[in-house]
Amino acid sequence: MRLFKQIFRPLRRIVWALIVAFMVGVHNFYKQEMDSPDTIISQIEIDAEEEDSSPKD
């Protein structure tokens, strides 16, 4: 029984870490899918304007 616990505990942690990593990856994928093309284009335009207005050294 003790051997079983010594093997099961690290295995359980690894499985938990893989599940969490998978869930985060799925969440990021769906979040990117939900962004509309209009918001992506407007964000690119805002970024370009900020770069243009930055002081030149």
Domain count, the chain: 1
Report the C-alpha gap between 34 and 15 in whole angstroms: 29
pTM of the model: 0.45
Per residue in 16-57, pLDDT (tens digit) is: 999 999 988 877 776 666 666 666 677 777 777 777 665 655
Residue 31 lies in a domain: yes
Residue 36 lies in a domain: yes
Structure tokens at 50: 């900020």
Report the C-alpha gap between 25 and 37 in whole angstroms: 21
Residue 1 lies in a domain: yes
Question: What are the backbone angles phi and psi of residue 56, rounded to the nearest 5°?
Answer: -95, 135
Residue range(s) defining the domain that contains residue 31: 1-52
pLDDT at 13: 93
Q: Which regions of the chain does DSSP assign to beta strands (E)? A: none
pLDDT confidence of 4, banded at 50, 70, 90? confident
Residue 57 lies in a domain: no
